[in-house]
A = this chain, B = another copy of it.
Amino acid sequence: MSTGPLEKLSSNKTFGGELTKYKFKSAALGGLIAKFNLFLPANAATGKVPLLVYLAGLECNEDTGAQKGGFIGPAAKEGIAILFPDTSPRGAGIPGEDDDWDFGTGAGFYLNATNPKFAHHYNMHTHVTLELPEVIQDAGLPIDLKRQSIFGHSMGGHGSLTLYLSSPSKQYRSASAFAPISNPINAPWGKKAFSGYLQQGVEEAKQKYDATELISKHKDPVHILVDYGTGDKFYQTGQLLPEIFLKAAREAGHDEVQVRVREQEGYDHSYYFISTFGEDHVHFHANFLKA
């Protein structure tokens, strides 16, 4: 099944640039309609611009980061595009996919499912890493795909770190995350997702979809920034485990220049936390995207 043509759903001028919502028939997601938002800064009118990919968390969609993250203003100043994908396929019609808020719809976990029940539709990994860049290129949008970085929140922070660390082609120059699920094979959210989506469950995830496992085996230098808040109830209840990720990074020889994990006193899991540090993350990526 091939990817269908892009259709523009809406367009909003913002910070001198343009945020456009598109839809297309997604081959990666089994022929379902996929939506995404793309912010192009004003300078995209005169040449290709680098791309920052934002992966949102559980229950979110392609609008959440665009509306609440506070990323677009800083990206406009830096002359960087931002791609906001959705968080899962929508409307696959698989029994049970809408029963829980942390599994199925809105909870794609940025993996490719191997459980036959989900394998036809739940392929957000391919959707984000291969299909969306292809769609953007085919549409002639002014993006320089050789300059990509990635960031995300919670489940999307997990996505950001794992897509960055597992890309053999080094697709992304840098990765950052707000309150990422940093060691999902040891966290309830991750165990549930992997058990459902993957034929071999957590064992299979260990090889491909766990940021802590990946950083511990990663030899090349990395550029990673993580922020989490001590007031985050999901941090407090062991869903995020950023210290485990940090420990693994240090043990693998990645120093504080390569991997910065910052504990932010009193901040929680919400976009009020994310927006506080959003500008900082955009600047972090700009260092590499504009190098």
Contacts and interface: CB of A to CB of B under 8 A. Distances in A.
Interface of A: 12-16, 19, 66-68, 70, 72-73, 229, 231, 266-268, 270-273, 275-276, 279
Contacts of A72: 272, 275
For the complex of A and B, the 10 pairs showing the least CB-CB separation, nearest first, are A14-B272, A12-B272, A13-B266, A13-B267, A15-B276, A67-B68, A12-B270, A14-B276, A12-B268, A19-B272
A87 B234 CA distance: 32
B68 A272 contact: no
Contacts of A268: 12-13
Protomer copies:
2
Contacts of A19: 272
A111 B14 CA distance: 31
A272 B21 CA distance: 13
Could you say which of A14, A72, A231 has the most chain B C-beta atoms within 10 Å of its C-beta? A14
A273 B73 CA distance: 11
Contacts of A14: 267, 272-273, 275-276
Given A14-B267, A16-B276, 20 more contacts: A12-B273, A13-B231, A13-B266, A13-B268, A13-B272, A13-B273, A13-B276, A14-B272, A14-B273, A14-B276, A15-B275, A67-B67, A67-B68, A67-B271, A70-B70, A70-B73, A72-B272, A73-B275, A73-B276, A73-B279
A16 B265 CA distance: 10
Nearest to A76: B276
